[in-house]
Amino acid sequence: MRWSLALKKATVNKMLRAGWSSSATLAVASVVLSLAALCLCSYFAGASPLKVMLSLFEGALQGRYALTTTLSEWVAMTLSGLAVLIPYRAGFFNVGGQGQLEVGAVAAAAVTLSLTAPRPLVILLALLAAVAAGVLAVSVPLVLRLRRGASEVTTTIMMNFACIQFMYAMVTGPLKDPKSWYGTTPPVPAAYQLPSFPPGSGVPAGMWVAALIALAAWWLMNSTVFGLYLRAVGGNRTAAVAAGIPVDRVLTGSVLMGAALAGLAGGLELLGYTFRVAEGWSKSWGMVGIPIALLGGNPLGVLAVGLLFAILETGSRSMQALTGVPAALIYLFQGLPVIIYLGLRASAWYSRWTQAAR
C-alpha cells in the first residue's frame, strides 16, 4: 500500500516535471510574467494595476462593439500567426506576413470594386484573389531560397517594403476613391461585405473561417504524412533528405500555405472589418503574427495566444481612456513575452528541469 503510494508520488513528480519542461508551460509562464511587468509599468505610470487590468479586459470584452472589434482582430492575428507558424515548422521563417496581408487586401478590394455579381460569388472571388496575391508576394523569396539559397528572413523583410509601397501606389492611383482627400480605396460595397454569423449577432463570419483553418492546420500537422514531413524538414533538413522526403516540395507547400493564409487575413479584414484599404489602414497584424506563432507553438496555441493579443490590442484604447496609461504600453507586451520565453528556455534552470524529466 505504502509502496504503491510512493510509486504514485514518483509518477506525479515526473509528470509535474515533464509539464514544467514543456514549451506550453513556458509560454503561459512568460505571458503571466509579461502581464506582471505590465502591472508594474502601469504602477510607475501612476495608475492602479488592478484598474488597468480591469479596464483592459472590460474594454475588449464588454459591449457588443468591443466584442466585435476584438473578434475581428482575432481573425487577423490567428491567420497571420499561422502564416508564420506553418512555414516555420518546415524551417522557413516567413517575416513577410505583413506585406502578404496588405497585397491580399488590395487584391480583394480590386475584385469587390470592379465586379458585379451575386454576393457569395464576389466574396469568394475576392478571398481567392487575396490568397493568390499573398502567394505571389512570397513566391520571390521562395524561389530565391530554393534556387539560390538566399536567406528568407532578408528577402521576406524586403518584400514587405515592396508590398506596402505597392499598396500605397494602388490606393493613391488606380484604386483611389475620387471623393477622398487622402489615399484610400472606395469602401467595399455594402452588398459585398462579410456578414456576421449567426446573422445579426455581430460575430464576424471570418472568425469561424479562422477557427476552422486553425483546427484544420492542427490536424494537418499532427495527423497527415505531409505534416510529419513538414516537421521533419524543419527539424533536420539533411536527415529528411536522407530519409527520401521530397524536401523542396514540402517546403514549397508549407510556405505557399502560410502566405495564402496571410493574404486571406488581409482579405477577411477588408471585407469584414475595415472595408477600405488606405494609407496606414492596417495594424501590424502581420508582424504580431511572429510573436503569436513563437508563443503559440502549434495551431491551437496560436488560436489561444491570438485571442489574448486581440484582447490586449482592443482593450488598450479603453485602458488609456480610463486610466491614463499610454496605450503604447501594450506594444511592449507584444515583444516582451517572446523575450521572456526565449530567456526562460535558454536558462540553465530550464535545462536542468528538462534533464531531470528525462
Partner 1 sequence: MNLVGCRQRKPGRDRDTVPPGSATGKEQEQVQAGTAVAVRMEGICKSFGSVRALDSVNMDISLGEIRALVGENGAGKTTLMTILYGMYRPDAGRMIVWGRETGRDWSPRQAMTARIGMIHQHFSLIPNHSVLENVLMPQLRWTHVRPRWHHHRAVLERLCQEYGFSFPLEARVESLSVGQQQQVEILKLLYQGASLLILDEPTAVLTPQQTDRLLDLLLRLRDQGHSVVLITHKLSEAFAVADSITVLRRGRHVATVARRDTNPREIAFMMVEREWSPASGWELRAPEPGSLLEVRDLVVGEEHRRPAVDRVSLVVRPGEIVGVAGVAGNGQTELAEALVGIRRCRAGRILIAGRDATSWTIAQRLRAGLRFIPEDRHLHGMVGELSLAENLVIDRCDLPPFSVRGVLRHRAVRQAAAEAVQHYGIRAPSPETPMVNLSGGNQQRAVLARALAGSPRVIVACQPTRGLDFAATEYVRAQLVRCAARGVGVLVVSSELEELMQLCHRILVIYRGQVIGELSRHEFDAGTIGLLMTGQVPDGGRYHGQGTRDLGQPA
Closest to 81 measured CA to CA, from 264, 331, 355: 264
Rounded to whole angstroms, the Cα distance separating 235 from 199 reads 44
The only residue of 32, 239, 321, 346 in contact with partner 1, by rule CB under 8 A: 239
Contact between 235 and partner 1 by CB under 8 A: the answer reads: yes
Nearer to partner 1, 229 or 333 (CB): 229
The single-letter DSSP state of residue 278 is: B
Inter-axis angle of helices 49-61 and 23-44, to 10 degrees?
A: 120
CB of 358 to partner 1, least distance (A): 5
Contact between 93 and partner 1 by CB under 8 A: the answer reads: no
Inter-axis angle of helices 23-44 and 285-296, to 10 degrees?
A: 130
Nearer to partner 1, 6 or 356 (CB): 356
The only residue of 143, 243, 321, 332 in contact with partner 1, by rule CB under 8 A: 243
Nearer to partner 1, 234 or 272 (CB): 234
| Residues with Cβ within 8 Å of residue 342, at least 6 apart in sequence | none
CB of 345 to partner 1, least distance (A): 14
Inter-axis angle of helices 285-296 and 299-323, to 10 degrees?
A: 120
CA separation, residue 19 to residues 15, 26, 257, 358 (Å): 6, 9, 31, 12
339-358 positions binding partner 1, by CB under 8 A: 352, 355-356, 358
Nearer to partner 1, 180 or 354 (CB): 354
173-232 positions binding partner 1, by CB under 8 A: 223-228, 231-232
Contact between 7 and partner 1 by CB under 8 A: the answer reads: no
Question: And the C-alpha cell for 184?
Answer: 484610400
The only residue of 31, 71, 86, 240 in contact with partner 1, by rule CB under 8 A: 240
CB of 240 to partner 1, least distance (A): 7
Interface segment toward partner 1; rule CB under 8 A; list 104-112, 122-130, 183-191, 242-250: 242-250
Rounded to whole angstroms, the Cα distance separating 299 from 208 reads 15
CB of 24 to partner 1, least distance (A): 14
What DSSP string describes 51-95? HHHHHHHHHHHSSHHHHHHHHHHHHHHHHHHHHHHHHHHTT----
The only residue of 85, 245, 250, 294 in contact with partner 1, by rule CB under 8 A: 245
The contact set with partner 1 (CB under 8 A) reads 223-228, 231-232, 234-236, 238-246, 352, 355-356, 358
